[in-house]
Amino acid sequence: MSRSDDDRDCVNIVVLISGNGSNLQAIIDDAAAQDCPYKVCAVVCNSPIAYGLKRANNSGITTRIIDHRDYPTRRQFDQALMSTIDQFAPALIALAGFMRIVGPEFIEHYEGRIMNIHPSLLPQFPGLNTHERALADGAREHGATVHFVTTELDAGPVVIQSSVPVLQDDTPETLAARVLEQEHRIYPRAIRWYAEGRLSLHRGKVLVDGAINGAHPVTTS
């Protein structure tokens, strides 16, 4: 059962997407629960044809399109993005398949308030093509990581990870599907922690319930 907007005295988040938006859907579904401490107040996308926009519209969520191709420089794109996000005054920005690298000014503007989901067990396989690289490397396990965003790509402090075994007959597609299931589990969990005030970033360290998160929670499917 979903709750009404009248019941939503909770933390606002903005989700940034570029494509299909399956992690966005997991967040939307979680936010519909009666006990959820956060609300998706807006979805911002850099592609006008992204399917994730339909997911947001189907749930009555405000959408904004900031097409990076309309801006001659990354800084101009980032400034337009910040101006749009700030209209909603979110407590948290969640990158969910957002395929643009934002600059230092953007990251500093939202320091400690940006999270990302990455399809590998960071620090292994930052960047793209993680599933192909895991198979080529002979990895025995693979997975997903939620982390705070910093100026170094895919190198921000880890919040939570979830691992899956790499099977002998795996292809990049089968491995990706199992990892995606874990992404859908751990991203809403991390956002809940933040919205509940249990999770924060302090001097580059992740704090969960006031303690340094030295041993990252890992769940194996």
Q: How many distinct structural domains can be found in the chain?
A: 2
Residues 76 and 167 in one domain: no
Residues 1 and 100 in one domain: yes
Which CA distances in Å does 118 have to 76, 142, 162, 212?
26, 11, 11, 21
Residues 129 and 76 in one domain: no
Catalytic residues: 118
Q: Band the pLDDT of 132: cuts 50, 70, 90.
A: very high
- Closest among 162, 180, 173, 174 to 219, alpha carbons compared: 162
**Is 220 domain-assigned?**
yes
**Is 118 domain-assigned?**
no
**Is 198 domain-assigned?**
yes
CATH of the domain at 40: 3.40.50.170
Residues 26 and 93 in one domain: yes
Q: 146, 173 in Cβ contact below 8 A?
A: no
Residues 135 and 197 in one domain: yes
Residues 18 and 41 in one domain: yes
Instruction: Look at residue 51 and tell me whether its pLDDT is greater than 50.
Output: yes
Q: Band the pLDDT of 217: cuts 50, 70, 90.
A: low
Instruction: Look at residue 205 and tell me whether its pLDDT is greater than 70.
Output: yes
E strand spans, the chain: 11-17, 38-45, 63-65, 92-95, 114-118, 141-148, 158-165, 199-202, 205-208, 211-212, 218-220
Domain that holds residue 208: 124-145+158-221
Which residue is listed with tokens 């969910």? 96
**Is 139 domain-assigned?**
yes
